[in-house]
Structure formats: structure tokens, C-alpha cells
Structure 1
């Protein structure tokens, strides 16, 4: 008989399947202190929490029988993941339970924005009957730009279609085939910025998405467009948005999230007559609270019964013999995935991983998860881990193919990662571990190289002509960029070539533009591997 402790307020409906299970006993004890939890947690196999309970290292250490911690929600910052992992305790959450709720909130914000509902309500209850000030617009016939076509963005697009809106959709993993299935038009960020009447954001906050809508984007927008953010604060430059509204470019905005939460009392959003704000209510419905509890309860039951489960957010257990052989390659695999995705344009269709040499005779699934995590992490921020990376790839219609070869030329082991994107674009990177040298990238596309995958790297595509290396070195020196290492690869003399440089610091965008403008250089881009 398994015992599960529910330490935060959760409705009986949310945990009904646990309560109905013949092999599970459920105890509900809320409002416990850390010491009180420590005193009793040893008798429980599972712990179910919301956000009130902080699951500390001491609590986890005292949970000698603990097998699973379930978070009825998305965020797990109240659970010490590392401590749970070290103890072999699976931590799960419920990323899908609030999809519809957040989607509906975003749509409600868009409708309120189109018809000035909060402003009209405030003025009416103040005793002023004002029909002229609040002239709104219809959604029908308008173009909605959706930035991020994951679960929530796709649901918003579906509802917008029902309202007669035209949909422009951007997502780094959205292919033309999937866009057609969703009945949306595949677009770039620039297409959306220039063509949308409304823009709604449904992307995580990553280095790539931070301030993806800022002054340069506002300057080219349709006059009178409107913008909604119910995803993550920071994706839209808040101060630039205020300027765009005050200048008449943007007609209004609706925000449920902020760069800093709660915002300061003097934040301009809070007093602006054309900006609607709510206090991060995206997941705040009765149904969402019940759904996340139901989802987590189901997975807790699977884990206790040693059945397949999903939505784990920490590292799953790996057989010691497999771990010993694969562990040295985990970091390399993730770096290879990150490197190749940064040199790939277009929506990714397939991740092809080939293991050659000694790695071909073991179960490489854990290593493949690290590689896929590296590919996806540039777009999903902290939402990707080695447990959910394969699931996320599947939900974005990204096919993961693994092949093996017993022999490899010149290396004991070789990992080759090839990304296939739309329009038949294909990018490849291969790496290995060399005795005494550690991690090495030994091939980029068709070119042999030898460089450590670390720090800030510049990848330059150029023609193999005399003086190119000197031109590059001189320009970087003039711009205070120090070169730590350099490698040049080519197939034939005088043909296409590649140059890889490791810099001591991040390379400014204007320097990359200058590099790309040098004679015989085709492209110059920075790859970050930290």
C-alpha cells in the first residue's frame, strides 16, 4: 500500500483518482511547518503540493520512502530539484493543465482591448455616461500575429479563426505543413510586426526572445495596431511600448505579465489610459486548478506503480553501467545540439543523430535526450530538460532519428548531429572526446575542423583566398575582440572554406556585420556555448 501526503489545499476532485485507487492511501494535512513535515514525511511514498509548501533539502532527506513529488501547477521553484534528483525522487509538474485557461485569458484581453471595456466600465461607474470616447474596433477581418505557436498560441489561433481573423504565425519550429494544418499563414517576426493589426505573445523568455519587440519593431508597425502579452514579461520592451503608444503608433496594449512582478507602484503601465493590466491571472481559473491537480495525480499514480510517466522535470534514473559510459558525453552532446541549431535557419523538421564507434553498442537514449535538449533549449529557455526534450520535439513535429555505425574514421567515438530544416536546408556538426584534450568539434557541415566547443565562437563562411585570416584578425583587433583560438577548414584549395574562432567575450552585432562585409567572406555569425 502506497501513502501520499497532500500538503497544500487541493480539491477532492483534483485528487479523486488517487483517493479511489485501491493501493493508495491519501492524507490531507495542510499548513504544516518545515519541522512538522520533516517529522512525518518518512512514512509517505508521494508528496503533492501547490506553491505554498516549500520542499526543502531537509524535507527530501527525511523522506526515506519518498518516490515522487508532484507539483499541481507549472513552476517548481519551491522544490529543491537537485536534492530530489540526488535522492532518486522524481519531480513532476503539469504543463498542459492551464493551456485553455491562459489562451482564454489572452483572448479576453484582446477583446477588452478592442472595445475599451475596462476603461468604459470605470468611467460608467464613476457616474459619467460617455459613448463617444470608447469607439472600438471589430476583430473580424483583422490580422492577428501570433508569436509562439506552442500549445497556448495554437489554441489562441484556433479561436481567432472562429472570429474571422486572418492569422500570421511565427515559431522557430513551425513548418509549412503544420501551419497548413492549423490554417495559419507561416510568417517571420518582421512579417508580423509590419502586417498585424493585433499581436499576441506566447513565447518563453530566452536570450533570443528578450525584447524581441522593441523600438525598431514599433517604428515599422501599422499605425493603430494593438499588442497583448499573457506569456512572459520581458519579451516586449515595456518602456519602448509606452513610447509607441504615446506617439500614436500603437493604439493600446493588454498585459498580464511584467518584467518585474509585481511592478513598481510608479510603473507607467499602471496609470496609462490605453494599457489594460491584470496581475498574472493567466492560469487562475477553477478548471485550471483542478486540471493541473488531475494531471499530476495521474502521473503520481503511474510512478508509484512503476508505469510509464511524463512531465518529469528532473533527471530520470539511469542504469549505473550505462551512466558510466555515457556521462562523459552528456555535456558534449548538449553543446553539439546547441551549436548546430545556432547555425540553422528555418523551421527544423528532423534531428538526425549518428553514433559511431564504441557508443554504437550501448543504449544511447539518455545521450540523445541531451542532444535534443541542446537543439531545443535556444527556443524553450528553462522549459526543456532531458526528460521532456523528446516530447517537446514530437509536439513540434520534429522527427528525431538515431543511427549507429560500429566503425569511425580516426576516432574511438564520434557523435554527428544533422539538422534538416525547411527548403531542404541541412546543417551538420560532429564531435568527440579526445584523450588529453577533452571535448572537440571535429566537423562543421562538410569541413573538417578541430576546436573546443566553449565560450563565444565566430563561424565564418568564406572563400579560400590568401589574406583572409589577416583581414579577420585585424578587424577583430581594431574592435577590441581578442582571439583565443582559430581553426580553418576546407575541402579543396581555393574553394569554399570555414573559419572558427573562439573569442574572449561576446562579439557585438556591428562587428559581425563588418566581418560579413569583408572581401571573400560570405557570412559571419556568433555561436554561444556557455
Structure 2
């Protein structure tokens, strides 16, 4: 189809310079903030709208975009886009996969190492000129059993790294890759066996209705007592209240999280406003509790955030936009062609 105008949201100076250089033949608009209804008058004639995962692409906005034929999400997650409404209006939705597989996998292993060696606690002690070893005797990765839930690209890369540390690996996934399992030297098992047999459990699931609170109190009752838990996927796949309960009950020895439920509220420190629900306030309070626990290590969703990943992200996002313009859409996650 013919594309004349493209709007980019959540766009910093680096992104603006990159797309200005590579899409010079189009009319481009750049916005540093996330997409909102106040932007509709300026972008309603855009054929393509690019967002990141903080822009809520809602029914109210979509219904006011008669010219838009592509919502291009410039990251992996796309649960901020109402796919059903996009389909109703003939709008295709694409994402940007694969740019941070190595980055997230490496961060996952770094969280394991930090958690098992109490690095976060030791660092704070040292900065406070306290050099006591009390309570921070660590454990090694070698010969531990790692339970991987979800063997997509990131999960498999974590397994590859873990095998390099001499770890044994059990994995659970709806889509088993048996040839890869043989090559990397790990075994698939039912979820209950993975939970019960793993010293460390690492979660690698997309956020969908089916995976919402995948880790809950019922499943934590099945974990090996004293297991460590890692989540670098999405906050919504874990029930925060259940994680706290698991720690209090001694079912979990420690937790490392790069993602939180309703993390945008935490990141913006926004707890007052007409759109904040009681459930969100409760989750915010639970997250604040996690942040203050010595047995919990939290990083601010930086697993993907490397120079190399950002370069790949821009390149893949550009290729996705160009593929649509050329009539060969790729990385389609929903909607339909008009």
C-alpha cells in the first residue's frame, strides 16, 4: 500500500535520528511521550504508527485513526495494543522480536549469580563500610538443577549459558524442541516435576491471558523447598502476593526480578490519579514490600538494555516497517491487512 506519513511515539533522539536517516522519503512525526488521545488530531492521517510497550493503543484511539493500516510495536511485548479492535478495523499489528535474546539471557544468569552469592546485600554493606560475612555465605551454580519454564529463544539461550556453568537443566514448555534438547543436553519434564526438582526456577513466558499469574500460590506449594526464583519475562506472569507468601513460608530462599506487576506505576511513582484502581494500589504496595526485602533482588527492567540490543532493535523495527510498505509484512502478531 502507499504510505506517506509515519508517526513515532516514545521516541528519543537516537531513534529519531535513525529513522530520519533511513526513512527520509516519508513524512515523519516524532513524539517523546507515549501515544494518547491528545495526539489523535495530529496523527489521524498517518498510515503507520510506531509505539513502544508503554503506549496504550485502545479502542478509543484506534477508532479515530481512519488512515492507519499498521501499528508497529518497536519491542517484543505488544499487550498494550488491543488486537481485537485492530482486526475489526483492518489494522495490522507487528512487533520487534529477537533483538534482546542474548541480553536478557545474560542478565538472567547474572541475576542467578548475584542472588546465590548475596551480591546485592554484600554491595550495600561494603558501601556502608561493613565487611561482615554474616548471613551471606553463597552457593555455586555448578551441579545445581535449573528449571526453565518456557523454551523460546531466550529460554534456550539461558539453558546454553547454564550448561556452561555445569548446571543440570529441566524444562517445561508447551512446544517442546526435542532435537535442541538433545544438542544442549537438557530434559523436558511435566511442570510439577520441574517445580519439585529444581534448585533455581527461571521464568520465560510471554504475557497473555493464559499465562496471567502462571506462578501462583498453588504452584509454589509444589516447588522444592528453599528454591530460588528468577523472572526476567513479564511481571504479570507471577502473582506478587504469592511470591511474598512463598518467601514467608520458606518455600523460596530468594527471588530475583527484572519485571514487576504494574511496573509502570512503580517506574513513574504514580499512585494518585483518577485512573488508579484499588487492585493497582495493592500491587504497588506489594512491590514496595518486595523492594525492601533482603531476600529479594530487583532490577528496573534492564535485561534488554544493552548497546547491542538497542542497535538490533532499531534495525529489526525498520525492516518490519519497510516490509509492510513493500507489501510483504513480517513479524505479524495480530490484526489483518486492510
TM-score, length of structure 1 as denominator length: 0.52
C-alpha distance in 1 between matches for 2:38 and 2:210? 40
SS in 2 for 1:264: helix
Does 2:307 correspond to 1:304? no
Using the TM superposition, give the Cα deviation of residue 289 of structure 1 relative to its aligned residue in structure 2, in angstroms: 4.1
For 1:202-351, list aligned pairs within 5 A: 202-204=204-206, 207=210, 210-212=213-215, 214=217, 217-218=220-221, 221=224, 223-233=225-235, 235-236=237-238, 238-259=240-261, 261=263, 262=266, 263-265=283-285, 268-306=289-327, 308-317=328-337
Give the CA deviation at 1:310: 1.9
CA separation of 1:280 and 1:15: change in aligned 2, threshold 3 A: same
Match of 1:97 among 96, 99, 104: 99
Q: Distance in 1 between matches of 2:245 and 2:32?
A: 47
> Does 1:19 find its partner at 2:21?
yes
Question: 2:119: which partner in 1?
Answer: 117
Q: For the pair shown, which has the larger CA radius of gyration, 1 or 2?
A: 1
Aligned to 1:154: 156
Deviation at 1:179, TM superposition (A): 1.5
- The 5 A counterparts of 1:437-448 are none
CA distance in 2, matches of 1:53, 1:190: 37
Change over 3 Å in CA distance of 1:2–1:259 after alignment to 2:
closer
The 3-state SS of whatever aligns with 1:169 is strand
Q: Provide the rounded CA distance (Å) in 1 between the counterparts of 2:60 and 2:214.
A: 39
Alpha-carbon separation, structure 2, partners of 1:208 and 1:13: 32
Cα displacement string for residues 429-449 of structure 1 (whole angstroms, at most 9, x for unaligned residues): xxxxxxxxxxxxxxxxxxxxx
Structure 2 unaligned spans of 5+: 267-282
- Per the alignment, do residues 8 and 226 of structure 1 end up closer, same or farther by CA in structure 2, a change over 3 Å counting? closer
Give unmatched runs, 5+ long, in structure 1. 319-530
Q: CA deviation at 1:200?
A: 0.8
Change (3 A) 1:46 1:161: same
State the alpha-carbon separation in 1 of the partners of residues 296 and 20 from structure 2: 44
- Which secondary structure state, in structure 1, belongs to the residue aligned with residue 146 of structure 2? strand
**Separation of aligned partners in 2, 1:54 and 1:234:** 16
Say which of 41, 48, 52 aligns to 1:38. Answer: 41
* Other structure's SS at 2:130 match: coil
- CA distance in structure 1 between the partners assigned to 2:163 and 2:92 by the alignment: 40
Return the match for 1:3 from 2, 5, 25.
Answer: 5
Contact 1:14–1:291 (8 Å) recurs in 2: no
Kindly indicate whether the alpha-carbon contact (under 8 Å) linking 1:67 and 1:304 is maintained by their aligned counterparts in 2.
no
What is the CA-CA distance between 1:69 and the residue it aligns to?
Answer: 2.4
Structure 1 pair 293/171, CA: closer, same or farther in 2 (3 Å)? same
Report what 2:196 is aligned to.
194
Deviation at 1:146, TM superposition (A): 0.8
3-state SS, counterpart of residue 172 of structure 1: coil
CA–CA separation in structure 2 for the residues paired with 1:49 and 1:238: 28
Could you say which residue in structure 2 is the equivalent of 1:183? 185
Secondary structure class of the residue paired with 2:202: strand
Specify whether residues 175 and 93 from structure 1 end up closer, same or farther in structure 2 by C-alpha distance, changes over 3 A only.
closer
Aligned residue runs from structure 1 range 471-482, under 5 A: none
- Native 8 Å contact 2:16 2:30 kept in 1: no
Do the aligned partners of 1:17 and 1:298 also contact (CA within 8 Å) in 2? no
How many pairs does the alignment contain? 315
Deviation at 1:209, TM superposition (A): 7.2
Alignment of 1:431-510 (within 5 A): none
Match of 2:271 in 1: none
Query: What is the Cα deviation at residue 105 of structure 1?
Result: 2.5
Q: Which has the higher strand share?
A: 1
1:47 counterpart = 2:49: yes
TM-score by length of 2: 0.77
In 2, distance between residues paired with 1:236 and 1:39?
38
Change (3 A) 1:138 1:5: same
CA distance in 2, matches of 1:17, 1:272: 43
Contact 1:218 1:241 survives alignment (8 Å) = no
